[in-house]
């Protein structure tokens, strides 16, 4: 039986705009099993990013429970949540957020330096080589294409050996060719590095990589 690495039950999230209250998530239940890819498709404004931010502990829900590796994080302190996030979770966003004044290798190592951890240049070079980007290690972000920069952002997200990789519209700014390259990269990471992936997208072709596929509509998840 596959082991559940992340589970959420009854997630509710609302936003207040003036006198109006908009319920974006209306009782979301979802599981992510070890070694699986789960995709969530939905239109812009459907709440995909809100859901991903809550599941990844970057934001909190109004109601509901989230457990990661069997532990209910509602009982965690802020420091414990930060430690768990740094230990188990990697992030890839629609915008790569690479620092233009640092080389590709330096950008990848930046999270390690910020956390003042031991040198992981060896791991960074291994990932660059394995994922076909070693030739860019001494270049700067502006010397790379948009697709190449996004692939670098994926490598950066792997530097803490995450168990779960959250990807929020990672192909949103890419053309079809580069989107397919990035999709293949996620498949390789999932297979070779045993990283579970939870990915949001508005693109049905990207959503198809999921072992389990959902659509977020009117605050609820529907299996596709």
- Quote the tokens at residue 175: 């053309």
90-122 pLDDT, tens digit each: 998 877 789 999 999 999 998 777 666 667 788
Parallel, antiparallel, or unpaired for β 212-217 and 220-223? antiparallel
66-89 pLDDT, tens digit each: 999 888 888 888 888 888 888 789
Query: Which residues, listed in sequence order, are joined to residue 67 by a DSSP beta bridge?
Result: 7, 72
Q: In angstroms, what is the C-alpha Rg of the chain? A: 17
Tell me the fold of 4-223.
Rossmann fold (3.40.50)
CB–CB of 200/45 below 8 Å? no
Mean residue pLDDT across the chain: 89
Q: pTM here?
A: 0.89
Distances (CA, A) of 168 to 45, 182, 208: 13, 13, 15
Query: Which residues, listed in sequence order, are joined to residue 63 by a DSSP beta bridge?
Result: 12
Interacting residues of 220 by C-beta distance below 8 A, sequence separation 6+: 26, 27, 28
Interacting residues of 132 by C-beta distance below 8 A, sequence separation 6+: none
């Amino acid at each position: 039986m596959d082991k559940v690495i992340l589970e959420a039950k009854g997630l509710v999230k609302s936003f207040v705009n003036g006198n109006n209250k908009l319920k974006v998530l209306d009782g979301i239940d979802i599981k992510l099993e070890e070694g699986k890819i789960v995709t969530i498709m939905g239109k812009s404004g459907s709440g995909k990013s809100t859901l991903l931010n809550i599941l990844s502990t970057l934001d909190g829900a109004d109601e509901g429970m989230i457990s990661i590796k069997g532990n209910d994080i509602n009982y965690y302190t802020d420091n414990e949540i930060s430690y768990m996030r740094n230990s188990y979770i990697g992030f890839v966003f629609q915008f790569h957020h690479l620092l233009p004044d640092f080389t590709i290798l330096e950008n990848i190592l930046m999270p390690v330096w910020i956390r003042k951890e031991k040198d992981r240049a060896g791991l960074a070079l291994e990932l660059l080589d394995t994922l076909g980007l070693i030739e860019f290690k001494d270049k700067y972000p502006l010397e790379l294409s948009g697709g190449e920069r996004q692939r670098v952002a994926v490598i950066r997200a792997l530097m803490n050996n995450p168990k779960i990789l959250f990807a929020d519209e990672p192909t949103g700014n890419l053309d079809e060719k580069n989107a397919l390259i990035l999709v293949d990269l996620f498949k390789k990471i999932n297979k070779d590095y045993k990283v579970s992936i939870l990915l949001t997208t508005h693109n049905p072709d990207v959503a198809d990589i999921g072992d389990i596929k959902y659509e977020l509509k009117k605050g609820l998840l529907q299996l596709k």
